[in-house]
Amino acid sequence: MLNFTTNMLNLRIIILVFFLTYSCSKNSQKPLNVVWVSCEDMGPILGSYGNDIVKTPNLDKLASEGVRYTNAYSTVGVCAPSRFSIITGMYPARLGAHNMRTGDYHNYKTPEEVSYRKNIGVIDKEGKNIPEYEVVPPTHVKPFTEILRTKGYYCANNFKCDYQFNAPFTAWDEVSSTVSYRDAPKDKPFFYVWNTLLTHESRIWERSNQPLTVIPEDIIIPSYFPDIPEVRNDIARKYSNIEAMDKKVGELMNQLEEDGVLDNTIIMFWSDHGGNLLRQKRAVGNSGLNVPLIIRYPNKMDAGKVDERIVSLMDLGPTVLSLLNIEPPKHYDGKAIAGPYEDDPREYAFGTADRFDESTDMQRSVLDGRYVYVKNFLPELPLIYRNKYRERITMNSKLIQMDSLNMLEGDAAYIFMKTKPVEEFYDLANDPYEVHNIIDNPKYSKRINDFRAALENWQKEINDQGFIAENKLVKSFWPNMIQPKTENVDFKIVEDGLYKLTTLTNGASIGYQIDEKIGTNSWSLYHEPIRIGDKQKIVARAIRIGYKASGITSN
């Protein structure tokens, strides 16, 4: 059976390589482009995933022309740790990036624009104040986009970063709210990320005055919410925002087609984590981690296929590299799910939940598409904790008020449990809303033990940093609470006009600018000696993730 599975995997890879090669040959040997369409805070509730209340014709068309993944998961049910895993291909809990969030790094800032507040109202498990900081991963961990840049790809991000560290100036050719794939030089293929904020949690209240395109009476209410007007109205707003997002996706797809690049571009659509309401965003179960994922190939290979493999958002970067015939680094936790370097499928997805803004907890989960196992390391805490940000949503504050008055019952009361069981186990086939804990059901004892063992082994393998108080993590990144600084770049002449650039800071990346680029925010990524004319000028600076950038030096 193993040989058969291996042979089938090899056959799929051969077929995929053939089709991608054929696609390139049809387009005059042009390298493939990749476009990521990234949305926020949304589970798989599109029309193509079976929700007939939300009208998403553009994404449904994308799914009909591509591969739709049903068991795709984020590593954390909130933005920054999830996006850390996406840009690095690594588990946040392995590298101490699991707490939400470490600083104001939503969008790219130049090194001179970065600042850190010493008091943001955050206290860790030991009662210690936590200032803003940046995660400092090991020296071999870098944004996967740097690999693409060394291979000649123009990498542009419109425009969210939010990586638990300020995005290095070496990660992207450009990050802005106006950059487009159209800005790519004519001789370069592109990797373009288009982010839409329309489905973000904050848009529930920020777009509250916009017309609803979904009637509140028509919406589907999860059983863990009571059927009250506030709930219906906010879910209708959520659904309406999804429909607005779908229209924007349609505009982007039309633009790609009109520009003649759609037939040479791989499209990948995904959400950074699950839903944006209570028991969804920040949750460690299926409602918080399960996301939509669609991949459309230029030749519509496998059009309409449904793939039930367990996939992590960490797999996105390795998959892009593999599809472009670039071998992913061996240290990645992420796995390529397509292309010549496609990896063996996962058995489980693992999730984490720790500090979210001012609220601290510690939960871990194991999911396999059918069952969800949750371990609560602080069971004395309530499941729904107070969080100022999410309570700006009308229904959230209303439900908290109702709970305080003992007005909730049944499944709606379940999610407001005042303490948590040490373990939870849910069968999604019979309990899609995860409200019937069957941890003590002997029928599932063997399967539960398998999940327990999987979690224990995974936590040992990654050396789960959730057990370490956050103040100690910060000190491990920034000794004595002082941010380290990257050493300046040195110029060495290899031969006439050929310069080698180096820095003494291990793990740092080097950016450089020549002539008219000097003084702009656009830095080329140094990866091999550079030839400079006699009258040309070059400047360079270095950056290691989490460190201060070096000064700017010149030849």
Mean pLDDT over 35-42 rounds to 98
The answer as to whether 216 is a domain residue is yes
Q: Give per-residue pLDDT as tens, 423-433.
A: 999 999 999 99
Mean pLDDT over 273-282 rounds to 98
pLDDT at residue 293, rounded to an integer: 99
Catalytic (active site) residue 79: yes
252 and 399 co-located in one domain: no
Q: Is the pLDDT of residue 261 over 70?
A: yes
Amino acid letter for position 391: E
Domain endpoint, select from 302, 321, 352: 352
The answer as to whether 358 is a domain residue is no
Where do we find the tokens 């003494």?
504
Mean pLDDT over 113-127 rounds to 96
The answer as to whether 287 is a domain residue is yes
471 and 495 co-located in one domain: no
458 and 495 co-located in one domain: no
The answer as to whether 360 is a domain residue is no
Check: CB of residue 339 under 8 Å from CB of residue 369. Answer: no
Where do we find the tokens 């759609």?
262
Q: Give per-residue pLDDT as tens, 296-313.
A: 999 999 999 999 999 999
528 and 461 co-located in one domain: no
pLDDT at residue 29, rounded to an integer: 74
Phi-psi region of 127 (alpha: psi -120 to 50; beta: other; left: phi over 0): left
pLDDT at residue 17, rounded to an integer: 58
Three-state SS at 72: strand
346 and 390 co-located in one domain: no
Residue tagged active-site, from 39, 79, 155, 161? 79
Domain endpoint, select from 312, 327, 352: 352
d(CA 473, CA 463): 13
* Residue length of the chain: 555
| Alpha carbon separation from 338 to 303, 346, 354 (Å, rounded) | 14, 13, 31
Check: CB of residue 342 under 8 Å from CB of residue 322. Answer: yes
pLDDT at residue 396, rounded to an integer: 97
263 and 159 co-located in one domain: yes
pLDDT at residue 366, rounded to an integer: 99
Q: Give per-residue pLDDT as tens, 2-15.
A: 454 455 555 565 55
440 and 538 co-located in one domain: no
Q: Is the pLDDT of residue 22 over 70?
A: no
Check: CB of residue 19 under 8 Å from CB of residue 297. Answer: yes
Look up residue 160 and give its two tokens.
Answer: 């969210």
Q: Give per-residue pLDDT as tens, 434-483.
A: 999 999 999 999 999 999 999 999 999 999 999 999 999 999 999 999 99
Average pLDDT, the chain: 95
Q: Is the pLDDT of residue 227 over 90?
A: yes
Burial of 274 (0-12, 13-18, 19+ CB in 10 A): buried
* 3-state helix/strand/coil string of 311-369: EEHHHHHHHHHHHCCCCCCCCCCCCCCCCCCCCCCECCEEEEECCECCECCCEEEEECC
332 and 452 co-located in one domain: no
The answer as to whether 224 is a domain residue is yes
List the end-to-end C-alpha distance of the chain, in Å, as a whole number: 61
Q: Give per-residue pLDDT as tens, 390-420.
A: 999 999 999 999 999 999 999 999 999 999 9
Three-state SS at 133: coil
Q: Can you give the CATH number for the domain in which 22 is found?
A: 3.40.720.10
Which residue range is the domain that position 262 belongs to? 2-352
Q: 392: cis peptide before it, omega within 30°?
A: no
Mean pLDDT over 46-65 rounds to 98
Check: CB of residue 173 under 8 Å from CB of residue 517. Answer: no
329 and 446 co-located in one domain: no
Calculate what percentage of the chain has a pLDDT beyond 90: 94
Q: Can you give the CATH number for the domain in which 532 is found?
A: 2.60.40
The answer as to whether 213 is a domain residue is yes
DSSP 8-state assignment for residue 502: E
Three-state SS at 199: coil
241 and 100 co-located in one domain: yes
Phi-psi region of 372 (alpha: psi -120 to 50; beta: other; left: phi over 0): beta
Q: Is the pLDDT of residue 163 over 90?
A: yes
At 16, the pLDDT band (50, 70, 90 cuts) reads low
The answer as to whether 361 is a domain residue is no
Three-state SS at 157: strand
- CA-nearest of 186, 161, 184, 181 to 171 is 161
Look up residue 393 and give its two tokens.
Answer: 């949503």
Domain endpoint, select from 318, 352, 386: 352
d(CA 253, CA 247): 10
The answer as to whether 357 is a domain residue is no
Q: Give per-residue pLDDT as tens, 509-539.
A: 999 999 999 999 999 999 999 999 999 999 9
- β-sheet bridge partners, residue 284: none
Q: Give per-residue pLDDT as tens, 67-111.
A: 999 999 999 999 999 999 999 999 999 999 999 999 999 999 999
174 and 263 co-located in one domain: yes
d(CA 219, CA 215): 7
Q: Is the pLDDT of residue 45 over 80?
A: yes
Look up residue 279 and give its two tokens.
Answer: 């028991």
Look up residue 220 and give its two tokens.
Answer: 């589907």
| Alpha carbon separation from 509 to 150, 161, 276, 359, 414 (Å, rounded) | 12, 18, 36, 35, 49
Domain count, the chain: 3
Q: Give per-residue pLDDT as tens, 332-367.
A: 999 999 999 999 999 999 999 999 999 999 999 999
Phi and psi (nearest 5°) for 79? Answer: -60, -65
pLDDT at residue 4, rounded to an integer: 44
Look up residue 107 and give its two tokens.
Answer: 């969008």
171 and 23 co-located in one domain: yes
Check: CB of residue 314 under 8 Å from CB of residue 324. Answer: no
* 3-state helix/strand/coil string of 278-321: CCCCCCCCHHHHEEEEEEECCCCCCCCEEEEEEEEHHHHHHHHH
